[in-house]
Amino acid sequence: MEDLHQRLVTALVQEEKKAERLAGAVRLGFLCLLTVIAGLNLGAVSTVASAMNFSVLAFGYTYSLAVVVILRRHGYHPTIKYVTSLMDVGSVFLLLGLYASIEIPSVALKNYVFLILFPIIALTAFRFDRTLTLVAGGAAVVMYCGLLLSLLLSGSVTLVNAGYDRELFSADVTLIGQTTKIVILTLFVVLVAYQARYTRRVITALVQHELTSRQAKESLDWEMGLASQVQSQLLPHDLPKIPGLACAGAVRQGRAVGGDYYDALEVQDGTLLVVVADVSGKGAPAALIMSEVRAAVHLLAEEFQGLEAFVERLNNLIFRSTDRKTFVTFLAVHIMPHRGEVQYVCAGHVPPMVASSDGVRRLPRGTMPLGVMPTLPEVPTRSMPFRTGDILVCCTDGILEHTDAVGDQFGEDRLAAYLGHHASEDAQTLLDGIFRHVSEFGNGKELEDDATIAVMASVPRG
């Protein structure tokens, strides 16, 4: 939480930096505009007034450029916005104070330069700081009241009780006119302060949302990285060497790393147990459950007494160690090359396919996934011959559900067709070819889910 708060503060400071650069650019642009206006009025005002105008403009250019240099050399500091805003307001009153020294002092209270205060105060809203607006705007109100009071006390002007026409069209200063100016300026300051506060709240909410989303993405990336690491460490690196069998297997991780798992274990002399599983869910939880499944598979394989007992005990272990929302689709294949036979149990998993000289067979589905109930309603162990030249292919739904550009899935039909045309290849070549074919089908699109393939080929013994 503290990290999120610190990142929020940092993000807001970055926004203030951008606002200060914007304010600096607007300030210089405004000074250029005032310079043009002052130049056009050279013939309309006295030489003294023109000298005052250009002197204050020179002062404005000097400190504006100084701010630019400070920002580039020393970086941004929050106090800069107060300094620049107060300097902007002070420049206006410097010029009005100079006007008070000419022939008609009341010019200082009626000059159009007073209007420059409004864009200056409005500019503070871009710093998203209500306090800044109140400080700069409050200084403007106080300075104007101070200018009026000093002129009254010095006797330079006299405040008369008359209407707006006298305020506008004579050298006199009226109570109604000056009160109206002060009230309008004060209300404008309050309005801009509210706007600055509201804008800051919106910016804070947006930045907080962005940071929260970024933090969630970082957490998800970390979780996926952990899941990927767990998965890669638990998958077999070397498959058993069984006479009469050639094996190959691989897991290709998708965008959402899941709980795909395959393994091959020698359970009896010359026989091989191949398992392929897919844990429900994604990320680290699925990967951790997959690690439990692997540990249970290795433990039960040491006391292997047939597929039915093996799957029943594994289901009971998964049911007791997971919640009811978690299940595992599971395929267990017991290959006995010396007998030319394969037995398998398919628990809610994608059923395997067998490619032989007679074509491609899709084997029947079996019982429900593991972990749903404490005992399985039935565990049908199916048997089939596995002669030399036969190839058994097991996969997860990440292969079959991979989509192309229009959303069509790869599906069982395409996998069966590919096996029918490449059944003569060795196990590793066939494995690589299936992955390549799936990738070409999806035009190279990243896998949405993990995709696992295990290939077992019956080869001549010797």
Express each pLDDT in 67-105 by its tens digit.
Answer: 888 888 888 788 888 988 899 899 889 888 888 887 688
Range from 15-29, 69-83, 316-330 that averages highest in pLDDT: 316-330
Give the separation between CA 286 and CA 257, rounded to whole angstroms: 9
Query: In the chain, pLDDT over 70 holds for what percent of residues?
Result: 93
- For range 131-145, the mean pLDDT: 95
Give the separation between CA 275 and CA 333, rounded to whole angstroms: 6
Please check whether residue 427 is in contact with residue 390, taking contact to mean a CB–CB distance below 8 angstroms.
no
**Confidence at residue 4, expressed as pLDDT on a 0 to 100 scale:** 58
**Confidence at residue 144, expressed as pLDDT on a 0 to 100 scale:** 95
Please check whether residue 352 is in contact with residue 333, taking contact to mean a CB–CB distance below 8 angstroms.
yes
244 token code pair:
């009469």
**Confidence at residue 403, expressed as pLDDT on a 0 to 100 scale:** 92
Question: In whole angstroms, how large is the CA radius of gyration of the chain?
Answer: 41
Please check whether residue 305 is in contact with residue 290, taking contact to mean a CB–CB distance below 8 angstroms.
no
The residue among 70 and 225 whose pLDDT is bigger is 70
Least confident of 16-25, 185-194, 356-365: 16-25
Give the separation between CA 209 and CA 138, rounded to whole angstroms: 34
DSSP state of 116: G
Q: In Å, how far are 231, 408, 440 from 253, measured between CA atoms? A: 9, 20, 17
Q: In Å, how far are 6, 20, 177, 404 from 10, measured between CA atoms? A: 6, 15, 46, 43
pLDDT at 258 over 60: yes
453 token code pair:
């393939």
Give the separation between CA 232 and CA 23, rounded to whole angstroms: 54
3-state secondary structure string across 200-249: HHHHHHHHHHHHHHHHHHHHHHHHHHHHHHHHHHHCCCCCCCCCCEEEEE
Give the separation between CA 276 and CA 263, rounded to whole angstroms: 7
Q: Which helix or strand (DSSP H or E) is residue 336 part of?
A: strand 328-336
pLDDT at 1 over 60: no
**Confidence at residue 232, expressed as pLDDT on a 0 to 100 scale:** 67
**Confidence at residue 262, expressed as pLDDT on a 0 to 100 scale:** 92
pLDDT at 111 over 80: yes
Q: How far apart are the first and last CA of the chain?
A: 65
- For range 310-317, the mean pLDDT: 93
| Closest residue by Cα to residue 21 from 80, 106, 90 | 80
- For range 20-40, the mean pLDDT: 83
**Confidence at residue 100, expressed as pLDDT on a 0 to 100 scale:** 86
Average confidence score pLDDT of the chain: 86
- For helices 130-154 and 79-99, the axis angle rounded to 10 degrees is 20
The residue among 189 and 55 whose pLDDT is bigger is 189
Give the separation between CA 446 and CA 462, rounded to whole angstroms: 41
Please check whether residue 193 is in contact with residue 129, taking contact to mean a CB–CB distance below 8 angstroms.
no
Reported as a single tens digit per residue, the pLDDT across 159-213 is 888 888 888 778 888 999 999 999 999 999 999 999 989 988 887 787 778 777 7
pLDDT at 2 over 60: no
What is the b/e burial string over 394-430, where b = at least 16 CB atoms within 10 angstroms of the residue's CB? Answer: bbbbbbbebeeeeeebbebebbbebbeeebebebeeb
Range from 10-14, 76-80, 100-104, 450-454 that averages highest in pLDDT: 450-454
pLDDT at 433 over 90: yes
H helix runs in 102-156, sequence order: 117-123, 130-154
pLDDT at 9 over 80: no
Give the separation between CA 387 and CA 458, rounded to whole angstroms: 6
Phi-psi category of 283—alpha, beta or left, where left has phi over 0 and alpha has psi -120 to 50? left
Query: Which residues of 11-68 form beta strands (DSSP E)?
Result: none
- For helices 2-40 and 175-234, the axis angle rounded to 10 degrees is 140
| Closest residue by Cα to residue 453 from 410, 400, 383 | 400
What phi, psi does 409 have (nearest 5°)? -85, 155
pLDDT at 285 over 80: no
**Confidence at residue 103, expressed as pLDDT on a 0 to 100 scale:** 67
User: What is 238-458's CATH number, 3.40.50.720, 3.60.40.10, 1.20.120.140, 3.90.1150.10?
Assistant: 3.60.40.10
Q: In Å, how far are 121, 228, 235, 242, 346 from 265, measured between CA atoms? A: 78, 22, 12, 10, 18
Least confident of 104-113, 248-257, 385-394, 429-438: 248-257
- 10 Å Cβ neighbour count for 1? 5
Query: In the chain, pLDDT over 90 holds for what percent of residues?
Result: 42
Range from 103-112, 355-364, 386-395, 441-450 that averages highest in pLDDT: 386-395
Domain range list for the chain? 2-214, 238-458
pLDDT at 342 over 60: yes
- For range 25-53, the mean pLDDT: 84
**Confidence at residue 230, expressed as pLDDT on a 0 to 100 scale:** 64
Give the separation between CA 271 and CA 339, rounded to whole angstroms: 9
Contacts of 84 (CB under 8 A, 6+ apart): 20, 23, 24, 27, 63, 67
Give the separation between CA 17 and CA 77, rounded to whole angstroms: 9
pLDDT at 350 over 80: yes
- 10 Å Cβ neighbour count for 12? 17
